Structure 1
Amino acid sequence: MATLDDLRRTAAGLPGSEERATTGGAAWFVRGKLYAWECHPWPSIPPDMREIIAAELVVGVKVADPIDALALVQMAPDVFLRTTTPWGEPKVAFRMAHIDDDHLAELVTDAWRVQAPKYLRRELDSLGG
């Protein structure tokens, strides 16, 4: 089971990454662009998804393409939520209690890559990330 500390550790190793407190919880940005965040049970979220988000830690991340998000949901519907809000698409939200550290690191790093400028992606690549 992954934790926010695991997410923080991964994000701290990504060039240009910064954590900020938001009204919905912690969020991570690269060069001002959001790439990962704690989900909050906003009223605009469908009721069944809102119940899950209210009951446990759910994290959202940016993805490269809506097809990527759909594939994750279809492969592991017990881990990935089918929808949250239309804001910030493409993205996917997942239940932290159902994901391991390695998969969390992969999702967060991929989300960072979606939002990071080329020079920061090259910097990460040169570090072996």
Structure 2
Amino acid sequence: MPDLDDIRRIVRGLPDAEERERPSGTTWFVRGRMFAWVARPWPSIPDDMREIIGTELVVSFKVAEHLDAQATKHTFPDVVLRETSKWVEPKIAVRMERIEHDHLVEIVTEAWRSQAPRAVRRAWEDAAGNGPDDSQ
């Protein structure tokens, strides 16, 4: 089962990414823009989803578009929660005990990519062959 240390290892390979501890929990940023954070069972979350977040490690990730979030939720219903709060949309919330490591790498990388400034993203893609169509 992947954990926060797995996310930390993935994030270390992404330019200008950093981890911060905030009152709400562990959060990752790229150039000051949040791209991932440990989910908390806020009162605004539906009861059944709040119960999962209260008993399991769930990490939320920004995605580029609402359609990306919906597609991921539909494709991986056992891994991605169907709904959380509407704050910092679009996003997905991942049940860490259910995700495969390679899928986690993809989600973390895409979350970073969705928030990284264009110049940072392009430099990383060009240097490492990590473009959107390149295999990772």
Q: TM-score, length-normalised on structure 1?
A: 0.96
Shift of 1:110: 0.4
The CA RMSD over aligned residues, in Å, is 0.9
The worse-fitting range, judged by mean Cα deviation, of 115-124 and 57-66 is: 115-124
CA distance in 1, matches of 2:24, 2:102: 25
- How far apart are the structure 1 equivalents of 2:122 and 2:10? 17
CA contact (8 A) 1:15 1:123 kept: no
Q: How does 1:46-65 map to 2 (within 5 A)?
A: 46-65=46-65
Residues 1-129 of structure 1 mapped to structure 2, 5 A cutoff? 1-125=1-125, 126-129=127-130
The equivalent of 2:133 in structure 1 is none
Distance 2:31 2:76 in 1: 31
Shift of 1:4: 0.7
Once the 2 structures are TM-superposed, how far is the Cα of residue 128 of structure 1 from its aligned partner? 3.2
- Which 4+ residue blocks in structure 1 deviate beyond 6 angstroms? none
Per the normalisation by structure 2, the TM-score is 0.91
**CA drift at 1:44:** 1.2
2: distance between equivalents of 1:40 and 1:23?
11
Identity of counterpart residues, as a percentage?
55
Distance 1:115 1:19 in 2: 14
Deviation digits for residues 34-92 of structure 1 (CA, Å, limit 9, x no counterpart): 00110011111111110000000000001111111111111121110011111111100
Cα distance in structure 1, aligned partners of 2:128 and 2:22? 30
**Count of aligned positions:** 129
Structure 2 counterpart of 1:127, one-letter code: A
Structure 1 unaligned runs (5+)? none
